[in-house]
Amino acid sequence: MLTPSETKTLKFIQKYCIEKGCSPTLTEIADGIGIKSRGVVHRYIKSLESKKLLSVASNRKRGICLNLEAYENQSIAPIIPLLGRIAAGQPIEAIEDRHEINLADFIMDPDRFALQVTGESMMDAGILDGDTVIIKHQNTANNGDIVVALIDGLEATLKRFKRLPKGMILLIPENKSMEAIAYEAERIQIQGVVVGQLRSYQ
């Protein structure tokens, strides 16, 4: 487990390496993490080395070498490393854009809950049968939102929301073989909007 200072040091080194193409000096690191002592930085580096997160060529200037496999050794990595982008037929943008996904942003909010989707009504929006959608609980929606709507108080569906003139609401399935249906606003109760979606292939 890394201390906050070690984490800060490691992140600075990663960023520096990516931006400048070589590793930083101890003075640069000290400056980067907001302390004054090279000795202290050296201590952090040694600790990170002992934790296999990087290796240092002894006495070499700029001799820090990041261990890119390090994430795989981490005992707990609640945050997944986001390694880069992948495109259709495009070369991978290697390590350039390395940052992290914070799943906390995704989910850990008290007014959110999950629903498992059955049916294909939102297929064309990339929400498949069996997917899980993360819903933010709220009673209103904007045009274009994907909402959980309760029709006549008993039937809940997942549809794209559109407000029509004259107090009508259009619920649009994202599936070419299905039709959008308009309802009087009184019949529709918004239970929440989709803020995320996840799928497991296992």
Partner DNA sequence: ATTGAATGTTCTCTTTTTGTTCTCTATTAT
Partner DNA sequence: ATAATAGAGAACAAAAAGAGAACATTCAAT
| Residue whose CB is less far from DNA, 58 or 116 | 58
Site for a second copy in 12-41 (CB under 8 A): 15, 17-19, 21-23
**The pair of three-digit structure tokens given for residue 161, joined into one six-digit string:** 């929301």
Q: Is 162 a catalytic residue?
A: no
Task: Give the span between the Cα atoms of 172 and 122, in whole angstroms.
Answer: 9
| Residue whose CB is less far from DNA, 6 or 120 | 6
How many other CB atoms are found less than 10 A from the CB of residue 77? 12
Which one of DNA, a second copy, none is in contact with 35 (Cβ closer than 5 to 8 A by kind)?
Answer: DNA
| Residue whose CB is less far from DNA, 29 or 149 | 29
Please tell me whether residue 73 binds DNA under the rule CB under 7 A: no
Q: Which one-letter amino acid corresponds to residue 105?
A: D
Residue 101 CB, nearest approach to DNA (Å): 24
CA distances from 43 to 21, 50, 57, 132 (A): 23, 11, 15, 45
Residue 56's Cβ-count burial label (10 Å; 0-12, 13-18, 19+) is: middle
Element (H, E) at 55: strand 54-56
Question: Shortest CA distance to 149 belongs to which of 180, 128, 171?
Answer: 171
Q: Is 159 a catalytic residue?
A: yes
Query: Judged by CB under 7 A, which of 21, 50, 59, 186 binds DNA?
Result: 59
Residue 46 CB, nearest approach to a second copy (Å): 17
The residues that touch DNA, with contacts defined as CB under 7 A, are: 3-6, 25-28, 30, 33-40, 42-46, 56, 58-63
